[in-house]
Structure 1
Amino acid sequence: MDSPAGESLTVAELGAHWARYGHDLLVHDPGGPGECLVRRGELLVSRESLDPALSRLRRWVDDVEHDEDLAFARLRLRGAERDRCVDIAGEDPGVSANHVHLGSATMFGTPVLFGTGADPGPAEAVAEPAQQRWGVAVAVLDTGCDPHPWFAGRDWFEAVPEVLDADDDSEQDRQAGHGTFVAGVLLQHAPGVRISAHRVLSSLGFTDDLTVVAGLRALRRKSAARGEPVDVVLLTAGCHTAGDRCPPALRAELARFGDAVVVAAAGNHASTRPFWPAALPEVLGVAASGRGGGLAEFSNSGGWVDACAPGEDVVSSHVRLLPGSGGARRYGFARWSGTSFAAPQVAAAVAIALRDGGDRAEAARAAVRRHPSFGG
């Protein structure tokens, strides 16, 4: 990830940045092979593992929060054990830390808004995607999706308003508008899809295992209640873990989407280390290519990456807070970079293959053929 000056930002620096907003985060093994960012002092335990875990850990546990809907509990540790949460989790297969997931836009590469949907004057024109119906549903788990003119007139659209200024400093948060941007990339490449937006990523650019799993569960229940199957699930954030294994709660919830193709951004650490959930074998992990066609310098890569699509200087729909307006918004277009914006292009390729009659496996293969990874 890049700083405003173009220098590489460490995970520790990101954690310190978010700590200013009151988030208690811990960098485990800083700079080492097991480096990961977690919620300090939090453990996640599945329902079936809770009693045996508590029998071993009770003297260190300050509080237990049961989530019957998600079928697991969150344990909050006390005292010095709060900094040992990753090590404690590593001693028990039924226990995990609550990993922090990073959004996969270049975190400090603030998007440049260069046009609006209403204001006249010089602006780089971006054509609105065509109005089509394919009967393919794509769920986008991100920061939300604002009623940008590209979406507002479509009969499937349900606004999930972006939080633009979570810290109330009268300035737009760095990742605010991310979901609206991602949805616009998807719609440009697959104009006939029906998009279902779900907010799991904060406007500051991060989330965690618990929030993503809850968002996935809410998506499944909403889909079942409406009788509207989800064909593609798109995730644009992810995490590293101490043991380079996918967080068990995340993997278990994704396994319940067996009838959908799951697409995930590969992350922006310029690393080959597995990034979850993109590195799961059952997920299409997407890297980003740069302007010259090679792998973008910020993109993760490796044998676990399945596809690669353009991710540098991508143009899409965006929403911006109007300064001094009391919260008014303006809509336009922005230029942004990251594997977040490569992933929706691969999701679009999956949707096109489903539209053309392919089944889940065929659609995934077609998307990879269309956007092969380097060496793939």
Structure 2
Amino acid sequence: MFNFDFYNPTHIIFGKDRLESIDKHVPANATVLITYGGGSAKRSGLIDKVKTVLGNRKVYEFGGIEPNPRYETLVKAVEIVRSEKIDFLLAVGGGSVIDGTKFITLASSYKGDSRDLLKYGFTPITSEIVGNVLPIGTVLTLPATGSEMNSGAVISYEHGKFAVMSPLTFPKFSILDPTITFTLPKIQVANGVIDAFVHTTEQYITYPVDVRVQDRIAEGILQTLIEIGETTVAEPENYDARANHVWSATLALNGVVGAGVPQDWAVHMIGHELTALFGIDHGQTLAIVLPALLDVRREQKRAKLLQYAERVWHIESDSEEEKIDLAIQKTREFFESLGVKTRLSQYGVGADKIPVVIEQLKAHGMTALSETQDLTLDISQKILERAL
């Protein structure tokens, strides 16, 4: 097991009818900016419910944060924060809204050009860089990214998606009420299941370092998502299925699974380029890339792929190759059972577009990916070709 630091200060408030808890966790004299996305939170009445709970606090709203939050949109919210002297940010939405709000708080206190914050990548942005930032709370509406209990964000700018990491952006609290997610479209629920699944595999299917607790937590999350995936898509008001979905998505990326282990993230990095170039949903890109990557990287990941086959899919075979083949096949079939296509060609992306993706990976510095930093652009090309 590698050395690690674990820090997670987010207060999770889980279950039905928990919105009233906002009143206890937002200072009584706060001036609040509520951030949200395309309008469903407004149309459903959720924003009005949140404002009712906030009572006599001065409240402003900022809507329109995109599914892949754009820098150009977020800087407009920064202007409101500064002009109206906002001192608390409340994100009502899924991972994109929460990610965008994390960037808003960093950019609001940064003295320079806020585009600079996109250059840090996985290097944490500290108070020495941005000073003191505004606190964030969240009301989760889409279980997928785990952003409600971590310090990371992904921001879109021009033709790229940029990681923004900071220990300053852990939400102070997050409301996780599964009933709030009941009205989500089925494709968003399916994408959320896949996102949580691949977050877990990025930290689990790497190479062994004898992390027994983290491995079993990862395997428990994966097995849970497999068990409830089809149900939570097909039966949106099945509370138990959705509650397990919500909590699995949060646990998948709150730091526990990744503590002391090698981490890959190549699936995400390649997937980000597919979203930026072709507009394919983030969860759908993961469903395209993961099976292909596991196939191409089977030798580098052999030991953990066999463990994945045996412990998660309960595959019994004398042949290691058959175990790996079946595990990859079952992974693809699971994604497809949720109604998600797993081939680039099914999204109208042909072999002629692969060089464009490779050029984007190169332009964004993604030339040595994976847990061992040996996944070159040539290997990324093979993965994309396998994904056709």
What TM-score, normalized by structure 2, do the two folds share? Answer: 0.29
Whose strand fraction is larger, Structure 1's or Structure 2's?
A: 1
Q: Which has the higher contact order (CA 8 A, sep 6+)?
A: 1
Report which of the two has the higher share of helix.
2
Could you tell me the TM-score, scaled by structure 1's length?
Answer: 0.29
